[in-house]
Structure 1
Amino acid sequence: MELKKISKTWYYRLLFSYMPVFLLMISFLFFIFFQVLTERAQQDTAHIYASVNNQIVQTVEQPLQSIDHMMVTVQTRSSNSAEFNMLDYFDQEGPPSVFFTYQMTKEFNNLRQLYQSIHSIYLVRERDNYVLSSNTVSPLEQFSDRDFIEELLQDNYSYHWTNMRIFKEFHASREESVVSLARKYLTSRGESGLMIINVRTSSLEGLVSQKMDQTASYVMITGKNNEPVFASEKEASEKRKAISTVVSDYTGWTYESGLNKGSSFTMLQTFSSVWIILALIVAVFGMLSIVYMTNRNYKPLRALINKLDKISYASGEQGAAERNEFNYIESTVDSLVQRFNLFKSQSDMNSGYRKKSIFLEVMSGSRSLANAEWNVEMERHGFTSGFSKAAVIVISIDKYSDLLSRYREQDMILFRFIIQNMYMELIQKYDLFSWSEWVNDKEMCGFIYIQEDNEKQLIDSILKVSDSALQWIRANLPFTTTFGIGQTTDSVTMLKTSYKKAMEAVNFRLVFGNNRTIGYWETESGTSFELYNQLEQIRSLIYAFHSMEPDWLLKYGTLFEQFKQYKLKREDIVNLLNYFIFYLFEHVHGTILNDEIIETNKAIMKDVIDQFETLEDVQEEILSIMEKLEYVIAEQASKGGAAEIAVKMKQYIEEHVSDPDLSLIHLSQQFDIPSKNVSSLFKEQFNIKFIDFLIHRRVELAKQLLLEKEMSVQEIGRAVGYLNPVSFNRVFKRVVGIPPGDFRREKLG
Structure 2
Amino acid sequence: MNKNWFRRLLLSYLPAFFAITMILFFLFFQSLNEQNRKEAVKANDFLSQQVIRFTDNALKAIDYKVMREILTNSNVLQFFTRDKNDVYANIQAVKVMDDLKFNFPMIDSIYFIRLKDQYVLGDAPREIAESPELDFIEPYKEGIKTAKWTGERDYKAYTSGTAKKVISLVRSAPYFSEHKQGFFVVNVSLASLQGSINQMYNSETSFVRLNDDKGHHVLGPDSSNTGKNTIFSTYTSPYTGWQVESGMINQKTLTFTLFLYNIWTVLALISVLLGVIWFVHVTKRNYRPVEQIVSLIQTNSQKNQSGGKPEESEFGFIQHTLEHLMEETDQFRKQHQESLIIHKKYLFQEVMEGNAAIKETEWKAELLKYDLDVEGKTAFIQMFEMDSYLDFTKFYSTHDQTLLKFTLYIVIHETTVNHGASVWAEWTEDNRISSIIWEPDDVEPGTIRDSIIQTVRQWVEQYLSFTVTIGGSEPACSLEEIRQCYEKVGTLLQYKAVLGTNRIIHAEHIVRSTQSEISQYFYAIYSISQSLRLSGDDWIHHLTLLFSQIRDSLSSRKEIESLIQFLQQHLERAFSELSKEYRQIWKTTNAELLALGLVWETVEELESSCTRIFETMCVQMNAIKDADSSRSVITEIRSYIIENYTNPDLSLDYLSEKFQMNAKNVSKMFKEEFGENFVDFLIGMRMDYAKKLLAGTHKSMQEISLEVGYFNYNSFNRAFKNIVGLSPRDYRKQGAALA
1:531-570 C-alpha deviation (Å, 9 max, x unpaired)? 5654344223322333455433222222233334445454
Structure 1 residues 652, 573: closer, same or farther in 2, change over 3 A?
same
Deviation (angstroms), 1:312? 8.4
In structure 2, what is the equivalent of residue 394 of structure 1? 383
Query: Is the counterpart of residue 535 in structure 1 residue 522 in structure 2?
Result: yes
Instruction: Tell me by how many angstroms 1:628 deviates.
Output: 1.8
Deviation at 1:740, TM superposition (A): 1.7
Which of these residues, 679, 688, 694, is aligned with residue 706 of structure 1?
694
CA contact (8 A) 1:395 1:444 kept: yes
Question: Which residue of structure 2 aligns with residue 422 of structure 1?
Answer: 411
CA distance in 2 between partners of 1:314 and 1:674 (Å): 101
Once residues 465 and 711 of structure 1 are traced to their aligned partners in structure 2, the CA distance between those partners, rounded to angstroms, is 65
The residue matched to 1:439 in structure 2 has which SS? strand
Amino acid at match of 2:328: R
1:122-133 mapped onto 2 (5 Å cutoff): none
Distance of 1:747 and 1:539 partners within structure 2: 21
**Match for 1:410: what amino acid?**
H
Q: Does 1:496 align with 2:479?
A: no
Secondary structure at the aligned position of 1:678 is classed as: helix
Measure how far apart 1:442 and its partner are: 1.6
Asked if structure 2 preserves the Cα contact closer than 8 Å seen for 1:313 and 1:337, the reply is no
2:594 is matched with which residue? Answer: 606
Could you tell me which residue of structure 1 aligns to residue 492 of structure 2? 505
User: 2:426 maps to which residue?
Assistant: 437
SS at match of 1:394: strand
**Judging changes above 3 Å, is the alpha-carbon distance between structure 1 residues 333 and 480 closer, same or farther for their aligned structure 2 residues?**
closer
Aligned mates of 1:681, 1:346 — CA distance in 2: 72
TM-fit CA distance, 1:451: 2.5
Query: Aligned partners of 2:654, 2:594: CA distance in 1, in Å?
Result: 43
- Matched letter for residue 449 of structure 1: W
Query: Does the 8 Å CA contact 1:430/1:461 hold for their aligned counterparts?
Result: yes
CA distance in 1, matches of 2:631, 2:416: 67
| Structure 1: runs of 5 or more not aligned | 1-306, 324-330
Pick aligned residue for 2:676 from 675, 688, 696: 688
Deviations 1:93-126 (A, max 9, x none): xxxxxxxxxxxxxxxxxxxxxxxxxxxxxxxxxx
Q: Distance in 2 between matches of 1:575 and 1:349?
A: 40
What percent of counterpart residues are identical? 27
Report if aligned partners of 1:436, 1:444 keep a CA contact under 8 Å in 2.
yes
Q: C-alpha separation between the residues in 2 aligned to 1:643 and 1:592?
A: 15
What amino acid maps onto 1:703 in structure 2?
A: K
Cα distance per residue 1:554-593 (max 9 Å; x no partner): 2222223333444545444434322322322432342594
1:407 to 388, 396, 411: 396
Number of positions where the alignment pairs a residue of Structure 1 with one of Structure 2: 437
Match of 1:645 in 2: 633
Give the CA deviation at 1:412: 0.9
Alpha-carbon offset, residue 671 of structure 1: 3.8
Mapping of residues 501-580 of structure 1, within 5 Å: 501-523=488-510, 534-580=521-567
Q: Could you tell me the TM-score, scaled by structure 2's length?
A: 0.52
Paired with 1:484 and 1:309, the residues of 2 have a C-alpha distance of 63
Question: Are the structure 2 counterparts of residues 477 and 540 from structure 1 closer, same or farther at C-alpha, using a change threshold of 3 Å?
Answer: same
- Residue 505 of structure 1 aligns with an amino acid whose one-letter code is L
Paired with 1:483 and 1:337, the residues of 2 have a C-alpha distance of 46
State the distance in 2 between where 1:689 and 1:546 align: 13
Aligned partner of residue 444 in structure 1, secondary structure: strand
Amino acid across the alignment from 1:388: K
Q: 1:486 to 1:709 in 2, by over 3 A?
A: farther
Mapping of residues 158-173 of structure 1, within 5 Å: none
| Secondary structure in structure 1 of the residue aligned to 2:430 | coil
Contact 1:658 1:698 in 2 (8 A): yes
Q: Distance in 2 between matches of 1:511 and 1:425?
A: 31
Distance in 1 (alpha carbons) for counterparts of 2:696 and 2:580: 36
Alignment CA distance shift 1:727-1:422 (3 Å): same
Aligned-pair CA distance for 1:411: 0.7
In 2, distance between residues paired with 1:317 and 1:682?
93
1:722 to 691, 710, 723: 710
**Counterpart Cα distance in 1 of 2:417 and 2:703:** 73
Contact 1:588 1:686 in 2 (8 A): no
Separation in 1, partners of 2:358, 2:436 = 15
Amino acid at match of 1:390: A
User: How far apart in 2 are the matches of 1:482 and 1:310?
Assistant: 64
Paired amino acid for 2:403: L
User: Which one-letter code corresponds to 2:594 in the other structure?
Assistant: K
What residue in structure 2 maps to residue 362 of structure 1?
A: 351
Q: 1:477 to 1:706 in 2, by over 3 A?
A: farther
**Per-residue displacement from partner, 1:228-272 (whole Å, max 9, x unpaired)?**
xxxxxxxxxxxxxxxxxxxxxxxxxxxxxxxxxxxxxxxxxxxxx
Quote the Cα distance in structure 2 between the aligned partners of 1:439 and 1:524.
27
Contact persistence 1:432–1:450 (CA under 8 A): yes
Query: 1:667: which partner in 2?
Result: 655
Inter-partner Cα distance in structure 2 for 1:645 and 1:467: 65
Aligned AA (1:443): R
Pick from 570, 584, 588 the counterpart of residue 571 of structure 2.
Answer: 584
Q: 1:320 to 1:539 in 2, by over 3 A?
A: same
Q: Which amino acid is the alignment partner of residue 396 of structure 2?
A: Y
Kindly report which structure 2 residues correspond to 1:56-135, keeping only aligned pairs within 5 A, or say none. none
Note if contact 2:374-2:438 (Cα within 8 Å) is conserved in structure 1. no
Q: Which of 605, 611, 615 lines up with 1:623 in the alignment?
A: 611
CA contact (8 A) 1:369 1:493 kept: no
Distance 1:646 1:591, change over 3 A: farther
Change (3 A) 1:491 1:316: same
Q: Any conservation in 2 of the 1:732–1:739 contact (CA below 8 Å)?
A: yes
Local SS of the residue matching 1:320:
coil
1:679 to 635, 643, 667: 667
SS at match of 1:321: coil
> Residues 354 and 664 (structure 1 numbering): CA distance in 2 closer, same or farther, change over 3 Å?
closer
Q: How is 1:39-58 mapped onto 2 (pairs within 5 angstroms)? A: none
Give me the whole-angstrom Cα distance separating, in 2, the residues matched to 1:488 and 1:524: 20
Distance in 2 (alpha carbons) for counterparts of 1:697 and 1:309: 101
Determine helix, strand or coil for the equivalent of 1:508.
helix
Match for 2:638: what amino acid? K
Contact 2:690–2:704, Cα closer than 8 Å, also in 1: yes
- For the residues of structure 1 that align with 2:579 and 2:339, how far apart are their CA atoms? 65
Change (3 A) 1:351 1:607: closer
1:621, distance to aligned residue in structure 2 (A):
2.0
Aligned counterparts of 1:591 and 1:649: Cα–Cα separation in 2: 19
Letter in 2 for 1:501: K
TM-score when normalising by structure 1: 0.51
- Assess, with a 3 A threshold, how the Cα gap between structure 1 residues 366 and 681 changes in structure 2: closer, same or farther: closer
TM-superposed deviation, 1:521: 3.9
Deviation of the 1:665 alpha carbon:
4.2
Structure 1, residues 513-535: CA drift from partner, whole Å, max 9, x if none? 33322223445856667656543
Q: Give the deviation of 1:613 after TM superposition.
A: 3.2
Q: Which residue of 2 aligns with 1:697?
A: 685
Q: Is the Cα–Cα contact under 8 Å of residues 482 and 517 in structure 1 kept in the other structure?
A: yes
